[in-house]
Structure 1
Amino acid sequence: MTQGSDALLARMMTLHPKVIDLTLDRVERLLAALDHPETRLPPVIHIAGTNGKGSTLAMIRAGLEAAGGTVHAYTSPHLVRFHERIRLAGELISEDALNALLDQCLAANGPDPITYFEITTCAAFLGFSRVPADWCLLETGLGGRLDATNVLDRPRLTVITPVSLDHQQYLGDALGQIAAEKAGILKPGVPCIVARQPAEAMEAIEARAARIGAPLIVCGRDFDAWEEMGKLVFQDADGLLDLPMPALRGRHQIENAGMAVAALRHLGMAAEACETALTGADWPARMQPLIDTKLNALVPKAELWLDGGHNPSAGEALAATLAKMPQKETILVCGMLNTKDPLGYLKPLAAHVRNVIAVGIPDAPATLSAEETAAAATEAGMQANAAESVAAALAALNDVAPRARILICGSLYLAGAVLREA
């Protein structure tokens, strides 16, 4: 990446003192100054939830493209390059196009306060409004009701993935509060695909839907998906589909796949598109095997994996995935942010992992220290040590457990640092 977008993005970080400040006022002001690009988008599928947003979006995108459609997509955070956040008609945005959009947004905003996520969301909308496409997939950044993406009067479809405790400092301490914020993306008359939810979360989503008249298509009631004899079976009112298992690994991907297929079926896509949604989706740092990277050279006989999950529900999902994998000594190399719950994340993993090597996350001011993460792992019932870096942790493990399964985990920011070095 050249210095152009780097410099512009760095400048955007200075426009508002708070990294996160949930309100729509600043976004609506800038979109008005840009002549409302959000009103000139292709049919939008808007996705909120705590876990599984990106994986579900990736599967929906693969299915829509398999059916011959061109698809814009907006996701966050990025792992290696900011450009990953914006896909224009299926292609990652180019450096020149990104520079032009950022320049225009900065000029239109002037010196007025606006957060980094807000102004880059406006840049994405501006890009989407100028490039023809059949569909536009939007992932919320945080929450839903006051998220910068939530400025559309009538998307084609909304999706709410599983809701759990995360970002409590912004969304509330109770599951019902958090679900109510996620349900803020619901719109009158617009159907919503809803994942299986805890009762408290489902009650909040149903209350919002009833209040505004948004029809819900709910997992476990209107559709379902499960594994049977090595296949994914999907069922809804139109019948059964026998589909391949998702290419994205992990037991939780079955539910994500079910939501993606439910969305595609609602949009009128054929079974072939649903199959490709599952087999063709690519979403890095979600139980991703690392092969032939610089890190593999440090542990040449080990099995090396990368996962960016970072909250208690993600820890539970990861534990369920490990439970289904062939038995093998498994060691975590774990780094987390100080805004997360390390004990809640690590506790479910203790049944499958005895040893953790804790690391800090490079270039992340909010990182937990390696010692703090190690202390949480010890409290969770695992043996824990600290290391200066992922590379140092792997070098040490090659001496003591050269054939282990090593899982680098705990944060998308750590995953991004690993992929940048890969």
Structure 2
Amino acid sequence: MTGEGDTAFFYDEWGRRGPGDRRDLDRAARLAGVLGLPTIPVLTVVGSKGKGTAATYASAWLVAAGCRVVTVTSPGLRRDTDRIRLDGAAISGHDLSGLGRRLRDGARSLPPQEAGYLSPSGLFTLAGLLHARDAGADVIVLEAGMGGASDEVSLVPPTVVAITEVFGEHLGVLGDTPAEIAADKAGVVARLTRAVVSLPQTPDVAAAIEATVAARTGRRVEVVTDAPSAPPGLQRPNALLGCAAARRLLEAIGRPAPAPARTDAVLASVRLPGRVSWHTVPGATLLVDSAVEANGAAAALAEAYRRWDRIDHVLVCLPDHKDLEGVLAALGGLPVTTVRMPDRESLRFTRTRDGLDIAELTPARFAAYGERIVVLGTVYFTGRVLDLVGADTTRLFDA
């Protein structure tokens, strides 16, 4: 038996993968069949960035409406328990261990692992579905890992799909153009899908999404760009997208929208560590954001300058498949230190071989760069930073 907080099984087959091996969706589907997953309305969030924000605000909106909501995001903010939440609160290590044991026991009935593997993000998705059944959840909010049709979220037909901005991330993996990537992400749509809500996209991406949705729903579902009214401070497009998708889900399942006062209270309580969040260590204040491309970096800088009159230093951690050049250009002449994560086997840092090793980063090291520090990078990196500063990630909003 695994001990409390032990999530070894989630990484077991992935850790044994060989060169060129890919996640095995058929194997994951067989495991889902063995587990007997629930049939609960699902809101799935796909896109290139902002998925976690959209999923969190969708969950908060649904909770405000009186729904019991399980949310699955990827990766965890600080730890694996952050990946699965009930009404905004991370599950316990004990509960995650129990889910891991059930997944492991179910996997024993599968044929031996060959070329493909059960991916960690896929197993956490299945664990979240199990937890939703255990908790008697009314709805599930799923954040896709990398793709859509190529991701394990595609094993669960969504009632509503939310699509954040799609751009040329994972070129050569999900597709050779942004349009091909968009088609993969929109491929999560199923014949049972009732609504698809998207942020504005570039013309080629929008056309690919619309064509994919039309093909998969028999032209029954139209892609809409829509957002409900929001309380002051809720301006970010991904947050609005999440609320719009949640409203569509409530309409689809015949439940009333939340009362305005209740909505305002719950949405105002949302906390998003690692998404333009502020933290302090002795001698320094940090703005931490999971920006991975130029526009995101520019938005983070704009937020910093709303509070500060200067930025002393910027720490950037972007692996090879992220827009390092664009981010550095957006930072202009600010002093920058790049950070590598050599312990993340799936990430490559060939462009920043001379950067700082993540293991060298400490609270004291932050302060050595100055009093006002901006920290940008992949969610794996910002999660480590949140751990270093002791950020509270147990609850993302007040239910």
TM-score by length of 2: 0.82
The code of the aligned residue for 1:368 comes to F
The code of the aligned residue for 2:208 comes to A
Aligned to 2:334: 354
Aligned partner (choices 349, 352, 364) of residue 368 of structure 1: 349
Percent identity, please. Answer: 28
Aligned to 2:166: 163
Residues in 2 aligned to 1:18 and 1:109: alpha-carbon distance in whole angstroms: 22
Distance 1:286 1:206, change over 3 A: same
Aligned to 1:290: 279
Residues in 1 aligned to 2:71 and 2:357: alpha-carbon distance in whole angstroms: 38
**Taking CA–CA contacts closer than 8 Å with sequence separation of 6 or more, which of the two structures ends up with the larger relative contact order?**
2
Cα deviation, residue 106, structure 1: 1.4
Is structure 2 residue 100 aligned with structure 1 residue 128? no
Q: Is the 8 A contact 1:15 1:115 kept in 2?
A: no
TM-score by length of 1: 0.78
Q: Is the 8 A contact 1:73 1:87 kept in 2?
A: yes
Distance 1:394 1:9, change over 3 A: same
- Give the SS at the match of 2:142: strand
Aligned to 1:117: 121
Cα deviation, residue 140, structure 1: 0.5
Aligned to 1:230: none
Residues in 1 aligned to 2:294 and 2:264: alpha-carbon distance in whole angstroms: 30
Aligned to 1:45: 43
Aligned partner (choices 286, 289, 297) of residue 307 of structure 1: 289
Distance 1:145 1:65, change over 3 A: same
Distance 1:20 1:57, change over 3 A: farther
Distance 1:208 1:23, change over 3 A: farther
Residues in 1 aligned to 2:358 and 2:40: alpha-carbon distance in whole angstroms: 48
Is structure 2 residue 140 aligned with structure 1 residue 139? no
Aligned to 1:243: 231
Distance 1:173 1:93, change over 3 A: same
Aligned partner (choices 184, 208, 216) of residue 222 of structure 2: 216
Q: Is the 8 A contact 2:320 2:351 kept in 1?
A: no
Is structure 2 residue 199 aligned with structure 1 residue 195? yes
- Give the SS at the match of 1:150: helix
Aligned to 1:14: 15
Residues in 1 aligned to 2:130 and 2:27: alpha-carbon distance in whole angstroms: 16
Residues in 2 aligned to 1:19 and 1:57: alpha-carbon distance in whole angstroms: 31
User: What are structure 2's unaligned runs of at least 5 residues?
Assistant: 251-255, 390-399
Residues in 2 aligned to 1:330 and 1:187: alpha-carbon distance in whole angstroms: 49
- Count of equivalent residues: 370
User: What are structure 1's unaligned runs of at least 5 residues?
Assistant: 225-233, 235-240, 247-252, 375-384
Aligned to 1:377: none
Distance 1:42 1:254, change over 3 A: same
Aligned to 2:396: none
Aligned to 1:419: 386
- Give the SS at the match of 1:243: coil
Residues in 1 aligned to 2:172 and 2:59: alpha-carbon distance in whole angstroms: 32
Residues in 2 aligned to 1:130 and 1:176: alpha-carbon distance in whole angstroms: 39
Aligned partner (choices 108, 111, 115) of residue 106 of structure 2: 108
Q: Is the 8 A contact 1:45 1:159 kept in 2?
A: yes
Cα deviation, residue 144, structure 1: 0.3
Cα deviation, residue 63, structure 1: 1.6
Residues in 2 aligned to 1:19 and 1:126: alpha-carbon distance in whole angstroms: 30
Aligned to 1:176: 179
Distance 1:170 1:81, change over 3 A: same
Distance 1:208 1:7, change over 3 A: closer
Root mean square deviation of aligned Cα: 2.9
Aligned to 1:272: 261
Aligned to 1:250: none
Which range moved further: 43-52 or 407-416? 407-416
Cα deviation, residue 335, structure 1: 2.0
Residues in 2 aligned to 1:310 and 1:341: alpha-carbon distance in whole angstroms: 6
